[in-house]
A = this chain, B = another copy of it.
């Protein structure tokens, strides 16, 4: 999916919502455990309930990997089930030397058919470029994350006075374009989002940290939105675990609708 198509879906659905499929057999409603593939069955019902107001799905790969080979089968079935007009993100945070990154790219872009993958920048250019060589596919590079440990290294100031995440943005934006490179930008503080937006005005941001991690959607839109929206805002637990009964998918739909309605207002206000 290219940037124009993605923006088209955002305008059409009046939403820039990404739903995180952090599907954990220990957290899904117990009635699903009698299904042959409970993880897929949960995802299927979540997708059915939320697809109308969702522009991206983001399976968190760790949750599937933790289940061994059958987890990868649930992941593949989930990916196949997601409607083709919804952007898919493998939240895998991979990053290795060139020939190894090529293999990860092959795993997520060919063996599976994800539109994008999250990538860690620590190993530099040859860990990122192999992912950018796939036509029509996207890298979503970690820049500024919203977790506790993000302060340990991402905010270290260089002798040129730039925090590390800024160095990552400046260097990596030379490797790809706004057509194949997005950034993970944590949603905890508006001023930080504004600083990132100034450095990379055109790129899309994947914004985690709404809800459970405490960010404000209004701040994200105010400081992060650009002329193509430029935002995919993720919610995982707040949607998929909204309820634990047989009606869980309806509760998920209700939470997703709430966010979509807020997003509709913000798109009118800031786009």
Residues 48-105 of A contacting B (Cβ, < 8 Å): 60, 62-63, 65-70, 72-73, 76, 91, 93-98, 100-101, 103-104
Q: Please state if A76 and B68 are interface contacts (CB–CB under 8 Å).
A: yes
A111 — nearest CB in chain B belongs to which residue?
B68
Q: Please state if B68 and A72 are interface contacts (CB–CB under 8 Å).
A: yes
- Given known contacts A65-B104, A104-B62, A164-B156, A125 and B96 CB-to-CB distance under 8 angstroms: no
Q: Please state if A66 and B159 are interface contacts (CB–CB under 8 Å).
A: no
Count chain B CB atoms within 10 A of each CB in A101, A122, A150 and give the residue with the most. A122
Q: Please state if B93 and A95 are interface contacts (CB–CB under 8 Å).
A: yes
Name the distance in Å between A6's Cβ and chain B's nearest Cβ.
24
Task: Classify chain A's interface size.
Answer: 35 or more
| Chain B CB within 8 A of A128 CB | yes
A120 to B120, CA, bound (A): 8
A100 — nearest CB in chain B belongs to which residue?
B62
Residues on B with beta carbons closer than 8 Å to the beta carbon of A2: none
Residues on B with beta carbons closer than 8 Å to the beta carbon of A72: 68-69, 72
A22-B100, A69-B70, A124-B151 given; name 13 further pairs at CB < 8 Å.
A62-B107, A69-B72, A93-B120, A120-B122, A121-B152, A122-B145, A123-B154, A124-B149, A125-B148, A156-B158, A156-B167, A159-B161, A164-B164
Q: Which 10 A-B pairs have the closest CB atoms?
A: A124-B149, A124-B152, A62-B103, A125-B149, A97-B147, A69-B69, A66-B107, A126-B149, A66-B103, A69-B72
